[in-house]
Amino acid sequence: MPTLRLALAQVNPTVGDLSGNAGIVREWSRAAADSGAQLVAFPEMMLTGYPVEDLVFRDSFVAASVAALERLAADLAADGLGELPVVVGYLDTDGPARISAAAEPNRGPRDALALLHGGRVAARYYKHHLPNYGVFDEDRYFVPGDFLTVVRMAGVDVALTVCEDIWQAGGPFAIARDARVGLIVNINGSPYELEKDDVRLPLVARRAQEAGAAVAYVNMVGGQDELVFDGDSIVVAADGTLRARGPQFAEHLLIHDIDLPAADPDAPEGPLGEMSVRRVVLDAVPPAPATTVEGGVAERVTDEAEVWQALVLGLRDYVRKNGFRSVVLGLSGGIDSSVVAAIAVDALGPDRVVGVSMPSQHSSEHSRDDAADLAKRTGLDYRIEPIQPMVDAFLANMSLSGLAVENLQARVRGVILMALSNQEGHLVLTTGNKSELAVGYSTLYGDSVGGFNPLKDVPKTMVWTLARWRDAEAERRGTEPPIPENAISKAPSAELRPGQLDTDSLPDYSELDVILMGYIDGDKGRDDLIAEGHDPAVIDKVLRMVDISEYKRRQSAPGTKISIKAFGRDRRLPITNRWREPSDR
Enzyme catalytic residues: 44, 127, 163
Residue 34: beta bridge partners?
Answer: none
Q: What is the dihedral of CA 153, 156, 162, 167, to 10 degrees?
A: -170
Angle, helices 509-516 vs 536-547, to 10°: value is: 70
Q: How many CB atoms lie within 10 A of CB 133?
A: 9
Helix (H) or strand (E) holding 211: helix 196-211
- What CA–CA distance (Å, rounded) separates 40 from 185? 10
Q: 557 and 456 in contact (C-beta within 8 Å)? A: yes
Burial of 155 (0-12, 13-18, 19+ CB in 10 A): middle
Q: 338 and 484 in contact (C-beta within 8 Å)? A: yes
Cis status of the peptide bond prior to 482, with omega within 30 of 0:
no
Helix (H) or strand (E) holding 77: helix 59-78
- What CA–CA distance (Å, rounded) separates 249 from 191? 11
Q: Taking Cα atoms as reference points, which of 302, 296, 297, 298 lies closest to residue 195? A: 302
DSSP states along 434-467: HHHHHHT-S-TTTTT--SB-TTTT--HHHHHHHH
CA torsion through residues 80, 83, 89, 95, sign: positive
Q: How many CB atoms lie within 10 A of CB 412?
A: 20
